[in-house]
Amino acid sequence: MRGRNLLFSCMFIFVIFGLMGCTTEKQLKEQVKKIISEDPAIIISAIKAKPAEFIEALQEAARAAQMEMAKKQEEERSKELENSYNNPLKPKMRADENIKGNKNAPIVLIEYSDFECPYCTRGAKTVEELLKKYGDKIQFVFKHLPLEFHQQAMIAASYYEAIRMQDGAKAYKFHDEVFANQKELQKGEEFLKGVAKKVGADMKKLEKDVKSDKVKARIAEDQKEAQEFGFQGTPGFVINGVPVKGAYPASHFDTIIEELKKRGKLSL
């Protein structure tokens, strides 16, 4: 039986190479396709004859495909990054923007975030690292991109905005507390109210503002901007017009800052 399988395999190879001498590549593909479609047992027999070799070849092909895909993705990222240096994004800086750090700092870091996203917790830690490292040379603005499948993300964003309307510093304390205890978010407003009290928010005013049209419009404005910039997941950042999609470490932002300096687009 095995000899018969090998015979079929050899015949199949012989037919292919025989056709190559008198056909174009397109014709060859069509003929091979026709042969296989009419008698797929040829391929099955070849696989059965050498199953280990077939699996090894398949795995090698998969690895090669993954490497090629990774290479293409890296090339696309490089092109996108180069384009962003030449054509920087321009996030809206509103008159009442809640800026953390030096308002006149040359480094402008904006984040589009989701309070319930675990990657945004990492993003928050990265922001703190950058604020400590660059001191009065950096300013940070927190914006919203609550994802639909995170049930507590929108209400958490609403609490942040309602507190921001009272006091920007208290809003950032609220931000820090929520990310530091993100698992507690599953308790919903019970947890959020507790954090609001802890940071010293006016609870009567908060209760009125948290579901107001003003707060809803503010979050919607952030979401729209994030979508226009191509951010589909969180966290998303824009540092001096250069987009960063994902929870990259602080070193990634350092690299962008150094490149901006090298190109004469940033002076520290």
* Average pLDDT of the residues in 65-73: 79
- pLDDT tens track for 145-191: 999 999 999 999 999 999 999 999 999 999 999 999 999 999 999 99
> For residue 17, what pLDDT is reported?
47
Query: Would you place residue 22 in the very low, low, confident or very high pLDDT band (cuts 50, 70, 90)?
Result: low
Give the pLDDT score at 4. Answer: 46
- Given a cut of 70, whether residue 119 has pLDDT beyond it is yes
Write the DSSP assignment of 182-197 as a string of letters: GGGGGGTHHHHHHHHH
At 36, the amino acid letter reads I
> What's phi and psi for 4, nearest 5 deg?
-65, -40
Domains and CATH numbers, the chain: 2-62 (no CATH), 99-262 (3.40.30.10)
- Tokens (6 digits) for 227: 């979508």
Ranges of H-type helices in 210-263: 213-228, 250-262
Q: Is 70's pLDDT higher than 80?
A: no
